[in-house]
Every structure is written in structure tokens, then in C-alpha cells.
Chains A and B, each alone.
Chain A
């Protein structure tokens, strides 16, 4: 169908001057490209999340620079940081206030599994409180890793894979991604250079 043609070949794939496609495809396509994150930055990962939204790594090109403070206007909740016992009910409350369809990225090892803090104070994995779709490892994950996680999620949304996986697991999509270590990407851009 025509929407698939465009996705595969760009505007050169247009055969006529009108498009036909399934509504599902269009909806998934637009959802994946304009998903707004709910700001749930807790600790060090929040700083890297802010760095990802800043000029060097620029989440805006993925449609996500608008961090909505109100969960009712957000689609993705990026749980960035360690969740303490006192914070867990708040996390659940914010998650419940989000409108469907909603997705959760667990950013960092503390959110994914408790991280290095295997003790009384930290919830050992945010998936004990909310269903998680993508786990991004790292302490903190480099901005490249976070973008990889976000793009993985976007791909899942666009394909419709995510709904299928959720039906399988009964909870979140449970996708684990590989960490992209710091400095492994090529020469960085110096912004603002004269």
C-alpha cells in the first residue's frame, strides 16, 4: 500500500497524487514520531536525559523534546533514576494518570533492576511497580544508549510489534537493548565554534 511505499522509498514512492493506507499504519506512524515523554527524572540518569534533550544529542529530531510536566499529556514515561520505597507509590500514581496508549522506558540499571543498590531502600527494578517496555542499561546510559532505546521503542510502536509483545507477556514489552559505551561513536561535533 501507498503508505508502505513512502516509508520504504520516500516521496519517490508516490505513484499518484493521493495516498491510500490503513488508518492503523497512519496512526502508528504518527504516534511513533511525536511521542511526548513525561518528565520522571529522579537521579543521575535524569541529568543524562536532559543532556540527550540538549543541543548535542537533540531529542527534538525524534519528536521528543517536549517533556510534558503533566502526565495526562504524555505518552512515554522514561523512569530515569533509582526509585526509592517512598517514591514507588508516586511513580505508580503518575503512571496511572497517563492516558492510553502509554509506554515505559526504564532508563539505567537502577530503574531496570535496582542497579548497584541492592538494599532496603531501593525498589529492585521498576517493573515491580509499572510494566516496562524497553530497558536501557548503563550507569548512567550514555545519550546514545538512550536514543537507541527510544528509537527501538519508536520502531516497535510503528510496526505494531509492541502491542503484540504486550499481549504475549501480559505486561510491558520487555525489550532489552545493548548499551552503547561512551566514546564509541565517532568524532563529536563542537557546537557554536566560530
Chain B
């Protein structure tokens, strides 16, 4: 019989992690929370915001936003120091969704690892599985032997996932800024893509479909028509969103000039993805460090120039269009062949063969119970997820389970940009900034 754990109200144990009063901090600490630590000399940093450092105690107020809050995109807790409506300092506190996935990853075999990893960034699960599988394949040494069809299928799924993730961004961003109907429209489009995923992978989310060696199953008959259906339906609707949001004066007022970050600051903070591209740095791993067959498809890398929230919104909207372009090219170029490598040690045999061949039965048994052994070594693979660079660092000691599995989550690093972006803005802009960074707390906390 389980007992109810009762906690005294208000007694969450965050202590040091919370924001401390200005009077308890040294000037240097205040400047850091204000966000001014980005490779500037002390003199420059001090010149940056003299008036912010000297706000008298009774004029500022520290408030808490979250972790349960409708607009923090999950369980992100923000402590804001406000002077009236102006945000002086901001401190994000995370960990409310910490799932111990890296520890669990050490307990699951490499074949099972996909189920764990896919739940980190739950808005683009196929990208998580892809980077994990690529890292495992690199350790196994089979990354050059993945069949062509499997590679192109992976690209197709990854790009469709990018589309569904960005559609969700449009939906939540719209709702946060106030265009509440955008929530319904964005989800309507997303359902189309999810329906395709359900047909191919069996699940709407958290698919565990991209596995080391290839994919779990082949594309079903009629997939081309389904994809063409999506590609036919979307452009007009994206145009509608352009009219609804991009050209609308209220939208522009709310997003332009909000949450500005410069290129130097973004690089210093390790930000990647749309945040880095909005500052003008044209860094996209699909183009600069190509993986799969991205060097054989044509697409543009969308780059902003002001580094503000409007640029990030526009980048993501146009990335949906670029993804559609890529998907069209994949449709033309999809080869026939195997959907997974035929290496018996890594891929389980087809189910029908298990009845016929003893060897197939034994291989199936070994792969699914003990798992396949991966040679010793360590490897880091990074790919471009909708939020930035997602990386997987695996250390293997020769057994069938990872010795250490670490995922470099883009949102974990991007959240560090928040204090800098929110500084000197209004509280209402704080919501716009969080929304434009598009964090997914599942991968922040893992």
C-alpha cells in the first residue's frame, strides 16, 4: 500500500538555485545574471548597464514564473527581477522534468536505447533516434554501409519531423503572442504529418523507428501519395499564416526588436539552430557538416539579420518551406532496396524466417535479450534538429550496453540565452522571448 507523500505547501527545495536578492550578490554576480558576461572585458561589462546595477532594493521585485505556467513551454521556472514592468534580471531554474535518461541509457541495450532517447525532445523524436543510431553505427563501424534506401528514408522522416516541430512552434508561438486561433491551425497541419507517421511507424509520437542499422520497417504501400497530399496541402496554408501573422502590424510590433542577441553573444553561449541563424551566422549542420545525403539535395539555409524574435519566427516558417523542398526531392530520388543493413549481428532477422531457421531464431533471441556488442571506443555525432545541434556522445566498453550515453540537447544550451535576451525588456516580452527560443523541457532536463 503506497503512502501519500505530503509536502508542506511552498516547500520546494531549490535553495541555491533560486535567484537571490540583489543585496546578497556582488556586483560581478549581478552583471552575470543581467547577462553581461560574454567575453567582454570588465570595463566593457561595467559600462554596459550602470543603471541596472544600482537599482535600489525597494524598487525592484523578484517574482516567480512557473514551473506550472501556461506559457513556459513545459516545466521551466523563471525567476524575474522586475522594476515595474521592466525585467532587470532573469534566472531560469530547470530540472523539473529530470528523468535520469542518461542513467537509464546505461541500463538498456543499444537496441533499446532508441526508446529512451526518443522521449527527450518529444517534438522531434525521430531526430533523437537518428543521432543515437548514427553514433552507434559509427562505433560499430557500419556507418558507411547503411543501405541507400534506409538513408533516404531517414532523411524523409527527419525532414517531416522538422516540419511538424516547426508547425507546433508556429502554433505555440502564435498562442503565446495572442493569435490564439493559430494554435488550432498549427495543430491541424501537424495532424496531417502525424497521420503519415502513424501509417509508417505505427505511433503518432515517440516512434522508436530509426534504429542502429537502418529502420524498423519499410515504407508502406501508397506512401508517396500520402506525402504528396501533405505537400499539396501545406503551401496555401503557410501563405495564410503569412497573411495572419507575418504581415500583421500587431505581430510585428510584438516581435521585432524583442529578444535581440548578437552573433558574438550567440556563439559565446553555444547557441545553435534558429537562434544562431537569426543573428546572421549561416550555420546549418545539414549544409556545413553534411550527414546522410544532405549534400545531394538542394535547399537554402534561412538566415536572419537582426537576431530578434521576429527573425526566429520567420526562419522557422521558411524552414518549413525548405523542408518541403527537400521532401519533394527525396520523393523523386528514393531508391529501392533494403531498409536496414543485412549484417546479422546487428539487425534482427525477418519474423517469418524465425520459424524456418534455427540460426535466425538464435540471432533474434540474442539481439533482443542480450543485445549486440559494440566495440570499445567513444564517439560524438551531431545533427541538425529543429532546435539546433543535437549531439550524442557514447562511450562503449565492448559490452552490449552503452557505458556512458550523453545527449547534447540544443534547448539546454539555448536556455542560457534567456537572461541576456530578456534584459531590459517588458514582462510581456519575456513570454515572447521564451516562445521564440522554443525550448523543449524534455531535452533540457533529460
Q: A residues touching B (Cβ–Cβ < 8 Å)?
A: 39-44, 46-48, 50-51, 54-56, 67, 69, 81-82, 84-90, 92-94, 96, 116-117, 119-122, 125, 127-131, 139-140, 142, 171, 182-183, 188, 190-193
Contact = CB atoms under 8 A, between A and B. Distances in A.
Contact of A90 (B2, B96, B104, B187): B96
Contacts of B441: 43
B70 interface: yes
A104 to B, nearest CB: 12
Chain B interface size band reads 35 or more
Contacts of B74: 41-43, 46
B264 interface: no
B35 interface: no
Interface string B52-85: 0000000000000001111000110000000000
Interface of B: 2-7, 9-14, 67-70, 74-75, 95-101, 103-104, 107, 115-116, 119, 122-123, 168, 183-184, 187-188, 190-192, 194-195, 198-199, 202-206, 233, 237, 441-442, 445
B202 A182 contact: yes
Contacts of B95: 84, 86
Contacts of B445: 84
Contact of A121 (B100, B115, B203, B205): B100
Q: Is the interface of A mostly helix, strand, loop or mixed?
A: loop
Most buried by A among B98, B99, B103, B192: B99
B6 to A, nearest CB: 7
Nearest to B201: A182
Q: Is the interface of B mostly helix, strand, loop or mixed?
A: loop
A43 B442 contact: yes
28 contacts: A41-B74, A43-B74, A43-B122, A44-B122, A47-B168, A47-B205, A51-B190, A51-B194, A54-B188, A55-B191, A56-B188, A84-B99, A86-B13, A87-B97, A89-B12, A90-B12, A90-B96, A92-B5, A92-B7, A117-B101, A117-B104, A121-B103, A128-B3, A130-B4, A182-B198, A182-B204, A191-B188, A192-B237
Nearest to A56: B191
Nearest to B445: A84
B68 A40 contact: yes
A97 B74 CA distance: 20
Most buried by B among A47, A67, A119, A130: A47
A127 B97 contact: no
A92 B441 CA distance: 20
Nearest to B118: A44
A42 B97 CA distance: 7
Contacts of A122: 99-100
B116 A116 contact: yes
Contacts of B99: 82, 84, 117, 119, 121-122
